[in-house]
């Protein structure tokens, strides 16, 4: 007997998970798995703190990498150009110091969910370009911030929930 899992149908326009200069390979690997599970597009922007060539991916045991659409961009402006031509969705920038909760945002299919590097988050100059598009995940404790992979999972699933993408879930292979 094949074990079944709860599966939801794909949405018409995927969400775009954007990592700006990610530094830690396991975080990016976990986020890639998230993108594979949610059929979101993974955008890697700028300098990466690791390699993602076939050998490196195979060595890391990322057996789901082929299930993820990964797009690399030289810088954020290159991402914006591709995103505007391909999706036309809204930008949502996530940073620990934003005054607006991620729960207050209205997400729509095709939107970009943008996260910064693990050590310092998104660059201040980039945040200044989009002051009204910044969101934070509230915490109850005094930790500085959440892990990048955890934060992206929280946001992606909230966006999917808001657009009703999880409502049609049924048992399947």
pLDDT tens across 46-104, in order? 988 777 777 666 665 567 778 899 999 999 999 999 999 987 899 999 999 999 999 99
Which pLDDT band, with edges at 50, 70 and 90, does 166 fall under?
Answer: very high
Kindly state the tokens that stand for 89: 């969705």
Start-to-end Cα distance in the chain: 11
| In contact, 160 and 153? CB cutoff 8 Å | no
Give domain limits for the chain.
14-165
Per-residue pLDDT, 1: 63
**What is the pTM (predicted TM-score) of this model?**
0.93
Considering the segment(s) 14-165 as one domain, its CATH architecture is 3-Layer(aba) Sandwich (3.40)
pLDDT value for 5: 93
**What per-residue confidence (pLDDT) applies to 58?**
64
Mean pLDDT of the chain: 92
- Short-list 36, 4, 32, CA closest to 19: 32
pLDDT at 34 over 90: yes
> What is the mean predicted confidence (pLDDT) over 161-172?
94
Report the distance separating Cα 140 and Cα 74, nearest Å. 36
Q: Is 167 helix (H, G, I), strand (E, B) or coil?
A: coil
Q: Which conformational region is residue 115 in: left (phi greater than 0), alpha (psi within -120 to 50 degrees), or beta?
A: beta
């Amino acid at each position: 007997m094949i074990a079944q899992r709860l599966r939801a149908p794909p949405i018409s326009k995927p969400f775009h998970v954007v990592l700006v200069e990610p530094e830690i390979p396991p975080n990016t690997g976990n986020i890639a798995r998230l993108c594979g599970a949610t059929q979101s597009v993974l955008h890697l922007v700028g300098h990466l703190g690791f390699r993602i060539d076939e050998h490196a991916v195979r060595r890391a045991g990322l057996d789901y990498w082929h299930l993820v659409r990964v797009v690399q961009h030289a810088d954020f402006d290159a991402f914006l150009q591709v995103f505007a031509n391909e999706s036309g969705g809204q930008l949502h920038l996530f940073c620990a110091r934003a005054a607006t909760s991620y729960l207050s945002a209205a997400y729509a299919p095709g939107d970009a969910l943008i996260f910064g590097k693990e050590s310092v988050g998104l660059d201040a100059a980039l945040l200044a370009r989009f002051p009204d598009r910044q969101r934070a995940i509230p915490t109850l404790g005094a930790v500085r911030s959440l892990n990048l992979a955890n934060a992206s999972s929280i946001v992606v699933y909230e966006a999917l929930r808001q657009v009703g993408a999880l409502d049609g879930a049924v048992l399947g292979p």
